[in-house]
Structure 1
Amino acid sequence: MSALQRALSVLYPDQCLICRNLVDQPGALCPDCWRGVPFVQGHVCDACGAPLPGQGDGAADHCDDCLTVARPWDKGRAVMLYRDAGRRFVLALKHGDRTDLAGPAARWLTERLRPLVECDAVVVPVPVHWSRLLRRRYNQAAEIARAMGPLLGVPAVPDALTRLRATAVQDGLGIDARFANVADAIVVAGAKRSALDGRTVILVDDVMTSGATLAAATTACHDAGASRVIVGVLARAVRSP
């Protein structure tokens, strides 16, 4: 470490991503927050990454949601559950102007997805409507996707997908209403179709609840000629047991 770096570390010590307590390195969580984040481990649903009981037998097992609702994508993985410190992390990235969290989120998601990524892949985020982008100033999924491209060694195309209309907020809607809300709302931008044609698309979003938005985005990718779609989300919302 250079003298300048040592001086900066004294003036601006590294802080936990969530609670701001001091940590040993940048982009890290303190021990308490690390234990508080419900990272997904062990046997998971092959379609959404939700945790499953048992060790699995190598088969493509699925959670109850993914057995009930057809998933148009091929496989899916999640980093954490959308609760407790995991929920606070996601909300800070999404609504708290904490774009600095996109880098750690991308590293975690890359670890989950690397075994599924092929050399012909391209990373694409779920889009937000321009009116919402004006208010929020950034698309958190796009920030994660931009950071994931170099980590995976594949191109990232943050503007590949477009929302044709400002859909209603999904919170509080039933599953049928959620799917109806986003039906035909997402398309591939005309100039970007060639970037997806014949490729495996790594479709990135911050949270998966019903999967309606991811399904609409997946359909748009297939319509543009994508050969496969792999879904990667920072957090998976699951029902409490």
Structure 2
Amino acid sequence: MLESARDVAIASLVALRRAVYPPACVACGALTDSEFALCGPCWREAGFLLGALVCDSCGVPLPGQDDGPVQCDDCLRRPKPWSRGRATLPYRGTGRRLALALKHADRSDLAKPMGRWLAAAARPLLSDEPVLVPVPHHWTRLLRRKHNQAQLLASEAGRHLGCPVLPDALVRRRATKSLGHGGREARAAALTDAIMAHPRRGAALRGRAVLLVDDVMTSGATLSACAEAATLAGAADVRVLVLARAILEP
């Protein structure tokens, strides 16, 4: 908890510095040559996954090299309710700081570079001209945070990809507690019947390939609930795209 508070405080200081001394690294505030960029050390620490061997289902990085689609052990044991997935970077170091800043420090400016990174990671998922659908927030959480970070990311990624974005095709009909510290089963139970297709606008998912967008994937419980809701609404295929992928211990 203290570590998260420290990360948010750093992100707020970075935002203040950027308002007075542009251009600066979006992660640490060090001077950079261009706007909305990372400095050299933060870029190296980020460990971008573009071009790396990753699980074709959940996007988690894998050791070794392989020419074809591969899946991690967890996805082989517990198949996901979506077909393919990608992440931009691992949820640690730079990736963790950026994700927390977007979520908790009112750093909506971060969606601009993040959307560009997401668009690059999404390239293998673009067959069948998918629509981008952000993971929904409950209205009470929107009041507290002022924005849905998944919607900000989806809008920016969609702009780069030329793909339509359906910001309210899915809705969260009841509030859920933070899932950050629960186990896999607890996370899944907390989301039972929490997410559904919008009674009217969810019809736009029928027959379409859907690309779900979120900021962080941990166990995948939230994305699973969204994928199941999209499938029930008639989506032809569901894929997932996240900014950061947490690497869980087996």
TM-score normalised per structure 2? 0.88
Q: Which amino acid aligns with 2:27?
A: I
Distance 1:69 1:240 in 2: 15
Maintained 8 Å contact 1:148/1:156:
no
Match of 2:6 in 1: none
Match of 2:107 in 1: 98
Distance 1:153 1:234 in 2: 18
Identify which of 114, 125, 130 aligns with 1:121.
130
Answering whether residue 174 of structure 2 is matched by residue 165 of structure 1, we say: yes
Maintained 8 Å contact 1:38/1:83:
no
Distance 2:67 2:153 in 1: 32
SS in 1 for 2:196: strand
Match of 2:150 in 1: 141
Distance 1:155 1:135 in 2: 27
Q: Which amino acid aligns with 1:55?
A: Q
Aligned pair count reads: 230
CA shift for structure 1 position 57: 3.6
Match of 1:3 in 2: none
CA shift for structure 1 position 103: 1.4
Match of 2:66 in 1: 56
Structure label with greater radius of gyration? 1
CA shift for structure 1 position 115: 2.6
CA shift for structure 1 position 120: 3.1
Distance 2:85 2:112 in 1: 20
SS in 2 for 1:88: helix
SS in 2 for 1:157: coil
Identify which of 41, 60, 71 aligns with 1:32.
41
Match of 1:152 in 2: 161
CA shift for structure 1 position 64: 2.0
Match of 1:213 in 2: 222
Distance 2:238 2:97 in 1: 28
Distance 1:201 1:216 in 2: 14
Maintained 8 Å contact 1:79/1:109:
yes
Match of 2:189 in 1: 180
Distance 1:240 1:32 in 2: 26
Distance 2:210 2:25 in 1: 32
Q: Which amino acid aligns with 2:160?
A: L
Distance 1:136 1:36 in 2: 28
Answering whether residue 68 of structure 2 is matched by residue 20 of structure 1, we say: no
Distance 1:99 1:161 in 2: 22
Q: Deviations over 1:178-219 (max 9, x none)?
A: 111111110111221232111111100001111110000001
Match of 2:237 in 1: 228
CA shift for structure 1 position 21: 1.4
TM-score normalised per structure 1? 0.91
CA shift for structure 1 position 68: 2.2
Match of 2:82 in 1: 73
Aligned-residue Cα RMSD (Å) equals 1.5
Q: Which amino acid aligns with 1:82?
A: Y
Distance 1:96 1:69 in 2: 34
Q: Which amino acid aligns with 1:228?
A: D
Maintained 8 Å contact 1:119/1:154:
no
Q: Which amino acid aligns with 1:155?
A: P
SS in 1 for 2:55: coil
- List alignment gaps of at least 5 residues for structure 2: 1-19
Answering whether residue 54 of structure 2 is matched by residue 44 of structure 1, we say: yes
CA shift for structure 1 position 129: 0.7
Distance 1:240 1:176 in 2: 16
